Amino acid sequence: MPDLHSKPPSAPLAQSEAYAAAALGIAVFIACVIGTLSRPVEFLASFWPANALMLGLLLRRPSLGYHRGTWLWGGGAFVSSSLLMGDGMAAAFLLSLANLAGVLAGWVFLKRLDRDTVMLRGTLSALYLLCGCIVSSLGEALLGGMATPYLFGGSMVKAIVMWFTGALICNMLMLPVVLSAPSFEAIRRARPGSWLGYRGLLHLLPLAALVTSEVAAVLLGGPGSLVFGVPALIWCALRYSLFSTALLCLAVGITKLYTASLGLIIYTPDHMLDAVSLRLGITLLSLGPLAVASFQAVRNELLDKLNYAARHDALTGVLGRNTFLEQCAHWLQRLASERRPAAVLMIDLDNFKSVNDTYGHAAGDELLRGFTRLVQQQLGPADLLGRMGGEEFAVLLPNVSHAEAREVAERLCEATRRELFTFSDDLQLHITASIGMVHQNAPPGHERIEQWLKEADYALYEAKGTGRNRVVTRAFAAA
């Protein structure tokens, strides 16, 4: 059993763990019912997603595995669904024990790996996943296989082999889906892309290729038909998300199991070796696309991070100079075409050098971060904030009148003056900022953002020269 002696969680945490354990139990119960309903049409068609679902949920939320309630809920779900579906007491108990043993074995093996690898965000994730599925399936097969002759008669070795391959294919097809499924938060934040037009059609091509290959596999049959879909699946892995690829692998695997059970391809369920071979074939077939998809996911994540780092200031997280200029240029063009007003502010902290000199560079950094947060709180969602270098920031306020822009600038100045910046070592200090502002009611659109900044810089220079801690506005002197 898992190590249940970890530090006890706090009360609200323990309650949320208890709810999560209950939710897991309900999900496993539903998966058990679905699994039982998929039982033989033919033996080969059976698909048991519950164990992989439970294992995946434990891996997604690592603390759950250390919660006693999780195993009670999971075990309860296995036993109750088994009884509900008409199994006897002994069968329900022994089969549930086998299921739990498989989940536990897979969990003990996979939880030791680093999180990225387990969550299919590592270059070797697919191989480790296969190893974890093998361990889990062995744990399940050894107990289940030993119980089978007692419950249903027949050879123990045959039962272990059939159980192992059945568990392996279910784990290998289901686990990636559970591990890569987007969280509720990610779904809420997702911006759906358009499926219309030429780009939408292009996006559908890998899926169309996959469907075509699978139809061809059913129509032509034969042993080679097992791999007809591989190129299309790899294409899907290159074009779609990891989750979509995992779903497609699951769909292809289930289709192949189902068509085999209907006898449309030559495997027959009466022959154990054919069934074992088919299951192993489908298991390994999904390995390639999953490896490609997780490699792609790692690459895309790295590219996103690189892209973010290139566009944002490392210290404060606001836009870097170049990106700010780029986005401002775009905005100003748009505002000019719509004959709408805009303002640019240049903000500079006063006597910032003395902060560095007196309290050290780290305190200066902390102050810059705190100041940035303060400015962000004062700005609206459409306003752009960028760090131009050192302790100098720029803001674009689109679609504001002169009075409104002046009000924002004054508010920033006031908020900075009032704020007591607090640092970790109980150091607190006040600071002020000077702001230069330039505004245009109807920007003509031909002037460059650099001109706006130059004008705002002149105003800032004047603010510094006339005592700091103030806003100076300046009329735009068109070139």
Binding site for ligand GTP (CB under 6 A): 315, 348-353, 356, 361, 364-365, 368, 390-391, 464, 468
Nearer to ligand GTP, 26 or 315 (CB): 315
Tell me how far, at minimum, the Cβ of 361 lies from ligand GTP, in Å: 4
How far is 433 from 347, CA to CA, in rounded Å?
A: 7
Nearer to ligand GTP, 302 or 315 (CB): 315
Q: What is the DSSP letter of 400?
A: -
Helix axes 352-359, 361-378, angle to 10 degrees: 140
Nearer to ligand GTP, 124 or 315 (CB): 315
Tell me how far, at minimum, the Cβ of 377 lies from ligand GTP, in Å: 21
Report the Cα 396 to chain-centroid distance in Å: 32
Tell me how far, at minimum, the Cβ of 356 lies from ligand GTP, in Å: 5
Tell me how far, at minimum, the Cβ of 365 lies from ligand GTP, in Å: 5
Which alpha helices (H) appear in 115-196, and where do they start and end? 115-118, 125-152, 156-180, 184-189
Could you tell me if 445 and 336 are in contact, meaning their C-beta atoms sit under 8 angstroms apart? yes
How far is 354 from 252, CA to CA, in rounded Å?
A: 66
Closest CA to 47 of 267, 262, 279: 279
| Cβ neighbour number for residue 80 with a 10 Å cutoff | 16
Tell me how far, at minimum, the Cβ of 431 lies from ligand GTP, in Å: 9
Could you tell me if 365 and 316 are in contact, meaning their C-beta atoms sit under 8 angstroms apart? no
Nearer to ligand GTP, 267 or 352 (CB): 352
Q: Which residue is nearest to ligand GTP (CB)?
A: 364
Nearer to ligand GTP, 128 or 359 (CB): 359
Nearer to ligand GTP, 16 or 376 (CB): 376
How far is 479 from 476, CA to CA, in rounded Å?
A: 9
347: enclosing H helix or E strand: strand 342-349
Tell me how far, at minimum, the Cβ of 388 lies from ligand GTP, in Å: 11
Closest CA to 106 of 134, 71, 144: 134
How far is 77 from 22, CA to CA, in rounded Å?
A: 10
Nearer to ligand GTP, 203 or 369 (CB): 369
Q: Could you give the 3-state DSSP secondary structure of residue 473?
A: strand
**For tokens 């002149």, what's the residue?**
458
Tell me how far, at minimum, the Cβ of 387 lies from ligand GTP, in Å: 9
Tell me how far, at minimum, the Cβ of 396 lies from ligand GTP, in Å: 21
Tell me how far, at minimum, the Cβ of 349 lies from ligand GTP, in Å: 5
Nearer to ligand GTP, 80 or 356 (CB): 356
Nearer to ligand GTP, 155 or 354 (CB): 354
Q: Could you give the 3-state DSSP secondary structure of residue 26?
A: helix
| Cβ neighbour number for residue 399 with a 10 Å cutoff | 15
